[in-house]
Chain A
Amino acid sequence: MFLKVQLPWNVIISAENLDARGLMLQRSILIRLLDDFACKKATKDLGYFLAVMTLESIGEGKVRQHSGDVLFPVVFSGITFKLFRGEILDGVVHKVLKHGVFLRCGPVENVYLSNLKMADYKYVPGENPVFLNDKLSKIGKDVTVRFMVIGTKWLEVEREFQALVSLDGDFLGPVS
């Protein structure tokens, strides 16, 4: 689900980027903020950082004693993407294994759907392996599948989420 978030942030401007002209200073703050935001990639609470929308306010700068940098507390709004348990989403299959498939859903690469969670679908091996059910509905590479999220996991080192999903329930499965 996409989230609109309002976040406080501390932007540090090094001394050489400080400019007497107010607009250039604002520009430096904004560029620094965009830079920090892009580097962050994702957080556990807010999900994947997608874009900064608006800079709501810039607070008073505080000089840092030892470096001469100035710290500006800012508040900005941005868009993030996060998976929630119980949510219904669409994902595209990018890897088919014997015991399940991996899907991609937005910025999340590792969404796993186990064969145990796709009732009635059987693995059909081959050059392009797929999961097939009695009604010849196929779950294979590049197929879009609607699923329900049953668990998520935040990986601190990689700064990304993994998700475990299920097709158990009505109206879930491959979508045309």
Chain B
Amino acid sequence: MAEKGGKGSSVPSKAVKSSLKSATSNGGKTSAKGKDDGSGKPKKGRKVQFDSEGLGDGIFGFSSGGKADSLLNKLNLGKGGKGDKTGKAAKSSAPKEPLPLELRVEQELPKHAKCLMDCEATEILQGIQEQMVILSEDPTIKIPVSFDRGLQYAKNGIHYADPASVRRALEPLTQYGVTEGEICVIGNVCPETPDEVFALVPSLKAKKSKLAEPLKDVLAELVKLKKAT
């Protein structure tokens, strides 16, 4: 990581790889440039591995290549590659600038699946938990092992008591092209400023000029809902 002076040295896909291996042969600058085609590196079979400094080989082997060529393309889209679905202009990123990994939930969601905010999920799971007492008396009824963990996570993360109001407050953002997944992340994160939103949901940066003002109003509304809890 010596080639990267500033913090936030991660660059998606290749730089993830390069930062995890403490030295890359010439990976630094080329990976930071972010043009996969220009680097001459093959896209296939790329693995992200922690194999330096005694951590042991392949404790975590993440393949970011193979059938995930599209994954790579998605990651590279953040660097402004071609075929950018968000329509962002191509960026030539400065070598030291971190290129954010973008949320693309809708592209990865299966059919008939809908994103839920943590507060919405809490409401549903708590309702089920209340019936759990009755259900658990019947030994034939099995509860998924992940239920308790999921409920605990949802409860710990929520900042709002009324999910419906939160959903209504965030609804105006959809007319600016904010996706369901992005709305859920905003609802989960409970941001205080528009800067926080753009930092945590970089896919919205493309619409920053349009979104900045409406976002201020929406966040002000969310703050009221938060205080009401």
A residues within 8 Å of B by Cβ? Answer: 1-7, 31, 34-35, 37-39, 41-42, 45-46, 48-51, 53, 79-81, 84-90, 97-100, 104-107, 112, 114, 116-117, 119-120, 144, 146, 148, 150-151, 153, 162, 164, 166, 168-172
Contacts and interface: CB of A to CB of B under 8 A. Distances in A.
Contacts of B114: 3-5
Given A50-B125, A85-B103, A169-B100, A38 B115 contact: no
A90 to B, nearest CB: 6
B7 A119 contact: yes
Interface string B52-66: 011100001111100
B203 A4 contact: no
A106 B144 contact: no
Contact of A38 (B101, B145, B196): B145
Q: Binding site of B, secondary structure by majority: helix, strand, loop or mixed?
A: mixed
Contacts of A169: 8, 98, 100, 199-200
Nearest to B108: A84
Nearest to B106: A84
B200 A81 contact: no
From A34, A86, A99, A106, name the one whose CB has the most chain B CB atoms within 10 angstroms.
A86
A169 B102 CA distance: 12
Interface string B95-139: 000101111110011101111111011001100100000000000
Interface of B: 1, 7-10, 12, 16, 19-20, 22, 48, 50, 53-55, 60-64, 71, 75, 98, 100-105, 108-110, 112-118, 120-121, 124-125, 128, 140-147, 149-151, 153-154, 156-157, 181, 184-185, 188-189, 191, 195-196, 199-203
A34 B142 contact: yes
A150 B200 contact: no
B199 A171 contact: yes
Contacts of A6: 112-113
Contacts of B115: 1-3
Contact of B113 (A5, A31, A86, A97): A5
Contacts of B201: 88
Contacts of B60: 112, 153, 162, 164
19 contacts: A3-B113, A4-B113, A5-B114, A38-B144, A46-B113, A50-B146, A51-B124, A84-B103, A85-B101, A86-B100, A87-B103, A88-B189, A99-B54, A106-B154, A144-B156, A150-B12, A150-B101, A151-B48, A164-B16
Contacts of A119: 7-9
